[in-house]
């Protein structure tokens, strides 16, 4: 008997609300009297209308982004697997995948497909998403550092990183002497051009190096810790020098770049002396637990985003803010492992390949279209190699 009562109740409810909807639709049509309603009529068949709608959906920004992600991940995994088989880092395969998908290969031989899958107006969304992947990855790298080793070797790492800048920097200035007249933009002074070339020659590809160290499981060893710290100090110094170069180009003086350096020092002081003790207290609340509560996760993610935002606004790349946010996380190994498990798979498998593939997508080897340009490119590469091995 109870089943019948429930059935009658459901049928009555549906009937009442159906009647209400019908009433409002009929009454709503009376509101169209004074409105300029344009009736859309289709001249094509139902199939043609479906195809037109399908084509529109294919070009929707979200659909396009999802198609790009699927294509990039599949291609990156393929070339990454090939590189692993020949004992090379998978990051090399990911960058090769970008070159293959970009204007150097697919764009050259299949321009219509390339224009459909990677139109220029869509690359901005892909770039921002790849930057999110890079930020999460650098956060993980910072958390995986062995701080006990870092404290003992921090001074050595800073000295090594700055010493490694000098020779490539000098070679970069020498290189600029030979390429200034041909490649310098109009109106740019030699000093500004030379400093920019010198920075480009001396800077370390921090994300690439971090990916190789992480992939080889060296991040918790003494060597891996020193290498990552050297690369971080190297790049922060290079970004400060770049800020000085930009200030010289724009304002003709070095003075304005001093503010960038002061803000960078203040940022590091704030993170170590204020934010780190605060996060330690938050981490102590989780001591002995096998999970991290969602409010705690929110606090640490906010710290990551605010730190990355701060370094981006200061004029140093957001990846350094993410790296610093990871390094000052509570030192409890169990706590760090729990948090890394929450982030690592999404960052490394889904988002990070987008960054390295996007780097390749912007590479257009076809621009080197004569022997002179190839000789110049070879000369620059040789100078860079000599600078790094000197």
> pLDDT tens for residues 42-62?
566 777 777 888 888 888 888
149: in domain: yes
Q: Which residues contact 286 (CB under 8 A, 6 or more apart)?
A: 292, 293, 296, 335
Q: Choose the weakest-confidence range: 67-76, 93-102, 176-185, 200-209.
A: 200-209
Specify the pLDDT at position 82. 94
Indicate whether 65 belongs to any domain. no
| C-alpha to C-alpha distances, 177 to 8, 173, 247, 374, nearest whole angstrom | 90, 7, 21, 18
d(CA 304, CA 342): 14
Question: Is 102 among the domain residues?
Answer: no
Is pLDDT at 238 greater than 60 in this prediction?
A: yes
Instruction: Kindly tell me if the per-residue pLDDT of 305 is higher than 90.
Output: yes
Which residues span the domain enclosing 246? 126-389
252 pLDDT higher than 60: no
Q: How much is the pLDDT for 307?
A: 94
* Any domain includes 343: yes
pTM above 0.85, yes or no: no
Q: How many domains is the chain built from?
A: 1
Range from 46-50, 133-137, 233-237 that averages highest in pLDDT: 133-137
* N-term to C-term CA, the chain: 91
Residue 22 lies in a domain: no
Q: pLDDT-based confidence at 69, cuts 50/70/90? A: very high
Q: Is the predicted pLDDT of residue 324 greater than 60, yes or no?
A: yes
241: nearest Cα among 230, 254, 228, 229: 254
pLDDT band for position 76 (cuts 50, 70, 90): very high
And the tokens for 38?
Answer: 């344009």
Q: Which residue has the tokens 């701080």?
A: 147
Average pLDDT of the segment spanning 266-270: 91
Instruction: Give domain status of residue 107, yes or no.
Output: no
CATH number at residue 143: 1.20.1530.20
Residue 285 pLDDT greater than 70, yes or no: yes
Whether the pLDDT of residue 211 is over 70: the answer is yes
Asked if residues 372 and 325 have their Cβ atoms less than 8 Å apart, the reply is no
Highest mean pLDDT among 11-15, 29-33, 195-199, 377-381: 11-15
Distance CA 211, CA 228 (A): 10
Mean pLDDT over 142-170 rounds to 74
Mean pLDDT of the chain: 82
What 3-state DSSP class applies to 43?
coil
Q: Which of 10-19, 126-135, 281-290 has the lowest mean pLDDT?
A: 281-290
Does 13 map to a domain? no
Q: Does residue 150 lie in a domain region?
A: yes
């Amino acid at each position: 008997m109870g089943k019948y009562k429930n059935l009658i109740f459901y049928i009555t409810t549906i009937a009442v609300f159906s009647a209400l909807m019908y009433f409002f639709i009929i009454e709503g049509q009376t509101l169209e009297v004074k409105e300029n309603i344009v009736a859309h009529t289709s001249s094509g068949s139902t199939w043609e209308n479906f195809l037109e709608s399908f084509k529109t959906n294919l070009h929707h920004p979200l659909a396009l982004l999802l198609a790009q992600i699927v294509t990039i991940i599949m291609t990156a995994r393929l070339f990454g697997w090939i590189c692993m088989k020949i004992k090379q880092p998978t990051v090399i395969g990911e960058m090769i995948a970008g070159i293959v998908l970009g204007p150097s290969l697919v764009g050259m031989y299949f321009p219509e497909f390339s224009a459909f899958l990677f139109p220029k107006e869509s690359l901005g969304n892909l770039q921002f998403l790849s930057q999110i992947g890079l930020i999460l990855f650098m956060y993980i790298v910072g958390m995986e550092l062995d701080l006990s080793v870092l404290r003992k070797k921090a001074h050595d790492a800073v000295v090594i990183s700055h010493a490694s800048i000098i020779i490539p920097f000098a070679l970069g200035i020498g290189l600029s002497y030979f390429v200034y007249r041909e490649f310098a933009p109009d109106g740019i002074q030699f000093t500004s051009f030379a400093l920019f070339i010198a920075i480009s020659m001396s800077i370390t590809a921090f994300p690439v190096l971090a990916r190789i160290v992480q992939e080889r499981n060296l991040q918790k060893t003494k060597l891996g810790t020193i290498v990552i710290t050297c690369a971080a100090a190297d790049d922060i110094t290079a970004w400060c020098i770049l800020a000085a170069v930009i200030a010289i180009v724009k304002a003709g003086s070095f003075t304005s770049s001093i503010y960038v350096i002061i803000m960078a020092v203040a940022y590091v002081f704030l993170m170590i002396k204020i934010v780190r003790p605060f996060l330690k207290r938050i981490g102590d609340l989780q001591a002995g637990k096998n999970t991290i509560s969602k409010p705690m996760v929110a606090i640490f993610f906010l710290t990551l985003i605010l730190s990355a935002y701060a370094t981006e606004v200061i004029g140093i790349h957001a990846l350094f803010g993410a790296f610093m946010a990871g390094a000052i996380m509570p030192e409890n190994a169990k706590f760090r492992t729990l948090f890394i498990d929450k982030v690592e798979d999404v960052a490394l498998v889904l988002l990070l390949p987008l960054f390295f593939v996007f780097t390749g997508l912007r590479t257009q080897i076809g621009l080197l279209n004569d022997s002179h340009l190839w000789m110049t490119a070879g000369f620059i590469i040789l100078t860079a190699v000599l600078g790094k091995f000197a």
